[in-house]
Structure 1
């Protein structure tokens, strides 16, 4: 409020700046709630809306519930005086967290009474101490009938790997034992004789040792089991599964036992008895189209309804926990009334704050635990042989086929268990909401962004869907089906629909709209309507800020662009908005950027938008290009300046970040007119902007030394491949250098009539820049990449400290080479240049520190 009053004083007389009326905040695409939560922490009354019911519940859990019940003592009968005292003193939602843990334990204890027999303990061999052991997970393999006629009556396993533990010195693996036309599985605690064979399971290997995707070999005959055969078997309901091993809790390590340690026949009989009673009611039978990642290839593997993602035992377990969460609500209300909770009788859904509302708040968090249990308790969860635990299904935005799977024990205390998930929820609440108080104001509602009026007179900042990147509605259906089963009686409006609303979701999904062109049109029209609505309702004193991180991925001779950006920016233009500024924000964890298989965006681009002036004029193509050439170089220099107080934009983000200043020129005019009088398209504008970026990067070539210019041109033609010595010598002469001289400089090799550039991995570690009499910028750049990749930022900084005069040239060459590699599709090479830029600030800081320890670095 103090900051707001100061702002109003500076803007006295301007509409919207009223000192006693602090503006509220709204995010109309709230999603997981990051932006509205941070707005609330800054002191703004925060509104979050989303079409997706799962998102709405997440936002209720972080925006509405914590402030409503902050500072209250727990109500459970076992609450200690220590907890009560700490809570009364204002420890955020410690009391709520304590109650969540208590009533979750009641749910677990009751679940053990009801379905504990489905997860029996196993007898431990004498070498492991004997007695009973708690199963962590059951390791299964999918099976098909052998395609070999001699064994067509046998269900043979499809196994991606036989490793149970792959840590060095901790190897444990499954070994199949063949008995004529049958087989068993045994467990081996030792380093395998043939590690590659164990690692590949029954996968079909090519001559080069690489696996053929979705293809296996018959364990009995060696006959190939091809993908189309597996598809046909699955289509006809003949894809089964068989247990291979059991992981058990041990005192010091995991214990792995063979399949005969558990009596699955007995367990299956009990499962069927439970299913025949009450548990078939309310199972998730919705169609799972759009969720399974292999749908594009027509491979469904028998997954047609959401219940197909789970074994019978998992369905019984999840249904039981869902029912128990509904049951525990009444127990919480009774205990809250005994603890003299306030007398408000309205439920949370109606804005209540009494015993019923408090019980609703607790079961919201318990429902999240059920969803996480489904994420870690389905028949597509992989066993992770490094961490030796089940790995969650949603490691990416899609569901992938898993041939082997780990069925976790939710009644244990290990990964995937109810106990572990509740501990995680309470730990997160105590850490992140320790300072929350009743003064925090938050609201979460379900609403379509294109039609809502919540934005009226509010500050708006939002992260909308990225064209066709992720189908949020399809993916969240996996969680919605269980959340709805648990919470629908208490939040009937939010969970009124059987499935997550999809028709209105602003994602360009061809299967929903009939074709890609229809999907594009839907996204364009929908986003235009939404942005028009936001511009109309937003607080007039503030700009509309939009996060967008859709990577420009379509590259050709005309430059880099993407349909996602074109369509989104066209919607911005159609909505009558002008981009007045852009902020590239580093939003990704740095550890994610190094060593990944893809060049992940390091930044989100924030577009700052205001309504276009009603009297905005048009401009010619020539004038537009002239203005780009005047304004873009300064903007680009700011982005890649690389100063400690102004961190550089990563190479992978440069094309993204440059969209902002370029489109700010394009969008401020009513139209940019081509020579024939037609309106310039956004696609053409993006290509022109990218050409200016290229020209800026290429302009630095004139400052490069002759050796580097040669390498740059040779790399453009040959990459790291060999070329004829004669051609190399001609190019070297044209650039004012020699092949022999560059060989002595240590940047290429020549012999037998061939020449090739050395890769960064081939540069010597003992190189000292101050002692090198011939150091091309090319060599300096690749030595820094080598140091970063092999030795880390400190060593790279030490090299940097020894050549301060080359810093700008090195950085610019890295940007230039990244762009070149991206356009040629050399993603592995591009990654190295991007990682250097992403680490530039840390390297510069290390160089600065190195200089203060005795190295001459005044020029840096």
Structure 2
């Protein structure tokens, strides 16, 4: 068979990681216009990273001819590589998301590389099928999820296909890549919003702007119509003379009727004290309403005999208000009337019996540029109780105690997560979607849009399909309202805002919840949800083909001859199907008539979902086996189907990293996933740690969780791959990893890898060796496991060669940290390391006396230290003096210090990486921070050294 010539792609050689990571981290704070505001999805990849990865996956590395056995000018290749880096650096900036000049440059490079590849394979027997120089291969993501990857492929000029088993994910992808291009360039058909202050100054309806405007217009109609029908359930609150008598601060508002933003409720149970067993007492986790400086407010319960009432006061809350009636973690409370402890079993029994109640604690209203916290009124509580829903979701919540905590308290169906008033509002909005669609269809016909009666699902583009498209985005707005409009949403007293239902990837039990007003101009309102969704639609790509379908990744054939980048489920991290039911039950009510096949079932399909969920499979072992087998089939599918010219890129994110002995950083999910990739027939040609969380946040959390998504770059393994022994594998690791480690820590052709990512980045070249073979055989002839291979790769990081004093400090720190140990033990260790306690004391790295010894912390080291006159300078001392200078005096001072000991620059960096890895393994978050901050500030330290006038230091750094 004639071999296909496959030039190495840029992603297999080099990436400007710093630029990608900075842009990806920054994107976390972008809200207006970001696709994530269209509909919630868990663990969505940053657009910047997706765009950069797909571009680098398709563009030839400038040195590719060398990989094909040809000569190449290395200097020229380096210059060309820097040019491509600059394109990526521009491409990942949020401001350039729709910058046509930047996107055009990127598309031009993709086309250039594609034509080079076609030219290389011009005489190949499959040239006509695989290498058409006039048509780019299409893109496919078989685990499309939140849609970041298909969206960015479309933005880069590729036909984009998205598939997922989850109907909510499929609908999100349809809304992002399929619908906007179909209706691009059309003017809105809906009537202008009465009194619209925006007035739409521009009549530019290019791209999806007209569609976005219609979403806004029909959303405004829905809001107005809903208010006519159920607005009486959401009354304003009047500031009365009685209120002012209790709260003089309310005097400026006397007589005003304020719009309510939120009603704050506490769940209640009957008191376990027999004397008060008739009373329903509150389960309140806090009585603090606002902890903002100068705007403090709190609930003050007033006990009156065998009853109580709530009043709201302003000013500094008493200490007792902070914990409400809570006594400890979980469902541990005390009776407000008798101080009797209320045990979890009592609350669970009351909940399962359907006797959980609720009591209004406070009302949050709109003031003049601030929140106004008011005492509850009987009227407002009575009106809330008037609501009588005619329908509620009966879909049962999963019996998954890890992620769904409400079942123990009687909230066992999705409908139980909403108050009656919330159910009335959501049902009303859902019913109005159908009316809005019909209104839009009629308006489209009046505007002259032809109609063949073909719906959106059948590929229609006339009035019916257009109206249904608008309906999809209106249904999404209801999802956003539901996310804040459930009894799992709560009030953040430090921010004066709602904490949404999915503040985390689970549904917890919330004791005191915040009920939003969907007609207020605030978070949780329908208007805010529609407006945010409309802004997102406006900025979606205006051209290109897109198609999203429901398919099982294990059996799909869509990937055939396509570029593939995908973000599969992460072992047992997130139960997407279970969580998605929260939205599915509402989307189905609005969209079943539009997508009858997609919303045919009562709940999201779960049996084939590739997540290792123990409750679903009966045990942890069975769940792991299910995940491994299923993921292996799905990825094998990709190995067989994907276009042979391009590597496949697969994202993987860590959770709950664990360490055992010298195994380094590992996790069951990571090992299982890697095993699936290798079993599927892939060899790894690279791994890239792409930041999705700030390092500071991850370190501050004190966990061993990793701060990155790892992008695996995969090629189909050669069918004739050899088998090697463990000894041969280790020999190759020893030959390859030193250079790879140097490249990662010093920069090389890539950005330097931060310490927090090093143990993951080094996996790339290590697993590239392991995965190229059919098997690596142990001494007993059995194939080496992925876990063992990872242990051997991780262990490499620990094999450093420092001076004797530093070796002692390293070993002592690993065992004792900064704690005091016995002098005798230190003396034995010092001798073993070729040093002495007296020498260590003279070096200024330890303090000993009275039979004890401890390492000196960086903060204890002298500010007047001079490395040029110190006769004994271990790397340990130099590193911690650098940390002291950085923390006390800044980058310039640290640079000036480094400039006076240029020969120690590389050992200092190596030791900082080594100590970060050690601290991460031990869970010493605060210590890890110091080492990570030094490395991440290294470029600034370098500038400080240069400014100090020491050219020698600059040359030795060579970052």
Same fold (TM > 0.5): yes
Kept in 1, the 8 Å contact 2:899–2:948? The answer is: no
Q: Deviations over 1:111-133 (max 9, x none)?
A: 11111111100112451422100
Where 2:686 maps in the other structure, the secondary structure is: strand
Cα distance in 1 for residues equivalent to 2:892 and 2:703: 25
Task: Give how far 1:39 is off.
Answer: 0.9
Q: 1:45 to 1:803 in 2, by over 3 A?
A: farther
**Please, what TM-score do these two structures have when normalized by structure 1?**
0.89
Cα distance in 2 for residues equivalent to 1:368 and 1:789: 48
Which of 263, 267, 275 is residue 138 of structure 1 equivalent to? 263
State the match for 2:909 in structure 1: 811
Aligned residue runs from structure 1 range 21-40, under 5 A: 21-40=135-154
1:58 has 2:172 as partner: yes
1:628 has 2:733 as partner: yes
Which of 581, 589, 599 is residue 485 of structure 1 equivalent to? 589
Task: Give how far 1:182 is off.
Answer: 1.9
Cα distance in 1 for residues equivalent to 2:931 and 2:451: 60
State the match for 2:787 in structure 1: 683
State the match for 1:613 in structure 2: 718
Aligned residue runs from structure 1 range 492-641, under 5 A: 492-550=596-654, 553-557=657-661, 559-560=663-664, 561-589=666-694, 592-593=697-698, 595-641=700-746
Where 1:300 maps in the other structure, the secondary structure is: helix
1:362 has 2:466 as partner: no
1:350 has 2:477 as partner: no
State the match for 2:397 in structure 1: 288
Which of 868, 876, 879 is residue 778 of structure 1 equivalent to? 876
Q: 1:178 to 1:783 in 2, by over 3 A?
A: farther
State the match for 1:315 in structure 2: 423
Return 5+ residue gaps in structure 2 as ranges. 1-110, 245-250, 955-959
Residues 783-792 or 614-623, more deviating:
783-792
Kept in 2, the 8 Å contact 1:160–1:404? The answer is: yes
Kept in 1, the 8 Å contact 2:759–2:794? The answer is: yes
State the match for 2:20 in structure 1: none
State the match for 2:439 in structure 1: 331
Cα distance in 2 for residues equivalent to 1:803 and 1:19: 56
State the match for 1:249 in structure 2: 366
Cα distance in 1 for residues equivalent to 2:869 and 2:399: 58
State the match for 1:207 in structure 2: none
1:445 has 2:549 as partner: yes
Kept in 2, the 8 Å contact 1:798–1:846? The answer is: no
State the match for 2:207 in structure 1: 92
Q: 1:473 to 1:580 in 2, by over 3 A?
A: same
Kept in 2, the 8 Å contact 1:785–1:832? The answer is: no
Q: 1:756 to 1:690 in 2, by over 3 A?
A: same
Which of 183, 186, 191 is residue 311 of structure 2 equivalent to? 186
Where 1:503 maps in the other structure, the secondary structure is: coil
Cα distance in 1 for residues equivalent to 2:886 and 2:581: 42
Which of 775, 799, 808 is residue 698 of structure 1 equivalent to? 799
State the match for 1:119 in structure 2: 234
Cα distance in 2 for residues equivalent to 1:510 and 1:748: 49
Aligned residue runs from structure 1 range 139-218, under 5 A: 139-194=264-319, 197-204=320-327, 211-218=328-335
Cα distance in 2 for residues equivalent to 1:390 and 1:591: 25
State the match for 2:253 in structure 1: 129
Kept in 2, the 8 Å contact 1:104–1:366? The answer is: yes
Task: Give how far 1:379 is off.
Answer: 0.5
Cα distance in 1 for residues equivalent to 2:869 and 2:238: 68
Where 1:200 maps in the other structure, the secondary structure is: coil
State the match for 1:104 in structure 2: 219
Kept in 1, the 8 Å contact 2:399–2:407? The answer is: no
Which of 914, 918, 929 is residue 832 of structure 1 equivalent to? 929
Kept in 1, the 8 Å contact 2:501–2:507? The answer is: yes
Kept in 1, the 8 Å contact 2:895–2:945? The answer is: no
Q: Deviations over 1:825-859 (max 9, x none)?
A: x242464257437xx34x13323443565553542
1:9 has 2:119 as partner: yes
Cα distance in 1 for residues equivalent to 2:733 and 2:619: 36
Task: Give how far 1:329 is off.
Answer: 0.4
Q: 1:213 to 1:756 in 2, by over 3 A?
A: farther
1:655 has 2:655 as partner: no
Q: 1:340 to 1:260 in 2, by over 3 A?
A: same
State the match for 1:231 in structure 2: 348
Cα distance in 2 for residues equivalent to 1:640 and 1:766: 28
Residues 312-321 or 462-471, more deviating:
462-471
Where 2:408 maps in the other structure, the secondary structure is: coil
State the match for 2:520 in structure 1: 412
Cα distance in 2 for residues equivalent to 1:778 and 1:94: 60
Residues 556-565 or 118-127, more deviating:
556-565
Where 2:746 maps in the other structure, the secondary structure is: coil
Which of 929, 944, 952 is residue 850 of structure 1 equivalent to? 944
Where 2:599 maps in the other structure, the secondary structure is: coil
Residues 674-683 or 384-393, more deviating:
674-683
CA RMSD of aligned residues (A): 3.0
Where 1:556 maps in the other structure, the secondary structure is: coil
Task: Give how far 1:421 is off.
Answer: 1.5
Cα distance in 1 for residues equivalent to 2:112 and 2:771: 35
Task: Give how far 1:59 is off.
Answer: 0.7
Where 2:409 maps in the other structure, the secondary structure is: coil
Kept in 1, the 8 Å contact 2:686–2:714? The answer is: yes
Cα distance in 1 for residues equivalent to 2:880 and 2:407: 44
Task: Give how far 1:87 is off.
Answer: 5.0
Kept in 2, the 8 Å contact 1:122–1:261? The answer is: no
Return 5+ residue gaps in structure 1 as ranges. 205-210
Where 1:555 maps in the other structure, the secondary structure is: coil
Task: Give how far 1:217 is off.
Answer: 2.1
Kept in 2, the 8 Å contact 1:785–1:833? The answer is: yes
Q: 1:442 to 1:811 in 2, by over 3 A?
A: same
Kept in 2, the 8 Å contact 1:87–1:94? The answer is: no
Kept in 2, the 8 Å contact 1:141–1:404? The answer is: yes
State the match for 2:104 in structure 1: none
Q: 1:676 to 1:771 in 2, by over 3 A?
A: closer
Kept in 2, the 8 Å contact 1:769–1:803? The answer is: no
Cα distance in 2 for residues equivalent to 1:241 and 1:787: 56
State the match for 1:44 in structure 2: 158
Cα distance in 2 for residues equivalent to 1:658 and 1:361: 47
1:69 has 2:183 as partner: yes
Task: Give how far 1:64 is off.
Answer: 1.1
Kept in 2, the 8 Å contact 1:797–1:845? The answer is: no
Cα distance in 2 for residues equivalent to 1:784 and 1:407: 52
Cα distance in 2 for residues equivalent to 1:788 and 1:854: 15
Task: Give how far 1:333 is off.
Answer: 0.8
Task: Give how far 1:640 is off.
Answer: 2.5
Q: Deviations over 1:471-511 (max 9, x none)?
A: 11111111111111111111101111111110011111111
Task: Give how far 1:633 is off.
Answer: 2.1
Q: 1:376 to 1:787 in 2, by over 3 A?
A: farther
Q: 1:3 to 1:418 in 2, by over 3 A?
A: same
Kept in 2, the 8 Å contact 1:393–1:399? The answer is: yes
Where 1:56 maps in the other structure, the secondary structure is: helix
Alignment coverage as a number of residue pairs: 826
Cα distance in 2 for residues equivalent to 1:844 and 1:589: 17
Q: 1:800 to 1:343 in 2, by over 3 A?
A: farther
Where 1:461 maps in the other structure, the secondary structure is: strand
Q: 1:254 to 1:795 in 2, by over 3 A?
A: farther
Residues 531-540 or 220-229, more deviating:
220-229
State the match for 2:103 in structure 1: none
